[in-house]
Amino acid sequence: MDSMDVKVMEAVNYIKLQVGYNPEVAIILGSGLGNLAYEIQDRIELSYGEIPYFKSSTVEGHEGKLIFGTIYDKKVVAMQGRLHYYEGYSMQEITFPIRVFEMLGVTVLICTNAAGGLNPTFKPGDLMIIRDHINLSGSSPLIGKNYELFGPRFPSMKEAYNKQLISITKQVAKELGVDIKEGIYAFMTGPQYETDAEVRMLITLGANAVGMSTVPEVIVAAHAGMEVLGISCITNVAGSEGGIPTHEEVLDVASKIEQNFMSLVMDTIKQIEFDKAE
């Protein structure tokens, strides 16, 4: 069986043959937020199924494609649909694309998701910048052999979310007139939604939103030394106050705020400066 580094480089080499350039920014598009991919200029689309060792997304609202191209002259790659732990994939499998992005030269990861609101001031349709996270999955994508090619054995998660990117995004939101929240995201494996007791626990722990993704990818991106920006779309109120949540509700609310979301992400990318001397 091939080792992780061999698999990653095989996927990287395949992508390079198809695309011909290295992206600077990677964007993971969460549930109901995939239409941003169609705003990318000079698109090159690769289905997950054609890329060596990529797994296929099985969830509605996740197309399962990599979209390469440009946003405001910045070279980007977008995951139009992500992989989830609850789909039965391992932590290493769902974060495999992040390893590939690392080896392609990506230095900035923008990770988005749909999430349940825990903060009583949040309402469906709000956008929240992720300031920090709580990993309640009981696992990590870094468990197992460490490859120095990818990062150190014991990486720090102290500033997994880049303060400069947070500052840029808040300024962009102000300029766009988009009300944006900021808070802590809790990761639970799903696929079941949280019980009322779990919601009370999460609030006690200091979480402002809860979801079933993002944290594994952020851990791997931090391990790789990437600068990370996390944005949650609050699609429902978690717990008894919010009624019975459904995936259809999540997709519906995400679609209604998608324009604000797309403008925020695209204008943030426009403001990112890269060192062209490298």
Catalytic residues: 31, 62, 84, 86-87, 114, 212-213, 236, 247
* CA dist 112 → 6, 16, 50, 223, 269 (Å): 28, 25, 24, 19, 14
Nearest to 221 by CA among 26, 24, 20, 16: 26
Nearest to 262 by CA among 241, 235, 233, 234: 233
DSSP letter (8 states) at residue 120: T
Indicate the burial class of 81 (C-beta count within 10 angstroms; 0-12, 13-18, 19 or more): buried
Nearest to 262 by CA among 216, 231, 217: 231
Tell me if 157 sits within 8 A of 219, measured CB to CB.
yes
Distance CA 183, CA 236 (A): 16
Alpha carbon of residue 33 to chain centroid: 11
